[in-house]
Structure 1
């Protein structure tokens, strides 16, 4: 039996990502608040929103930013923060 594919990462309704240069800002249209994500987090989040798994996003981070020595932990930390701030769907 094959394990089900993990659900894709998505922002909750009302959260709009805006890219400005290398960074990303997540706008909460309902609350009128925003969160700024640095270049590394933006790179990871773009991959996740495009359908990559966290593992694939970590590989992409390590490939695109050779100085990212803890890519898997960085992805996990970003996802934990997004969940904590209630920015993800589901």
Structure 2
């Protein structure tokens, strides 16, 4: 997998399939946190620190994003 930041977020290339994924800036924040080894809880905190979102909603969003990335085969955890 390779990625590049854009003014709108992050574009990820699944090198196995050639499929591109465009992530919003909030999703990019989460993916970047997880890619550098942060925990899910730390990714949630990063969201609540940057955006006006409750911890509960941020956790739901992070869990949903991880689920979509897993389904796409982009993450293993």
Aligning the two structures, in what range does the TM-score lie when normalised by the shorter sequence?
Answer: 0.7 to 0.9
- Flag the structure with larger Rg: 1
Equivalent-residue separation in structure 1 for 2:60 and 2:76 (angstroms): 21
Aligned positions, number = 75
Aligned to 1:49: 35
Aligned to 1:63: 49
> Cα RMSD (Å) of the superposition?
1.4
Gaps of 5+ in 1: 1-14
Show the 5 A alignment for 1:10-29: 15-29=1-15
Q: What's the TM-score, normalizing by structure 1?
A: 0.75
Gaps of 5+ in 2: none
State the shift of 1:89 in Å. Answer: 3.8
Aligned to 2:65: 78
Greater share of helix? 2
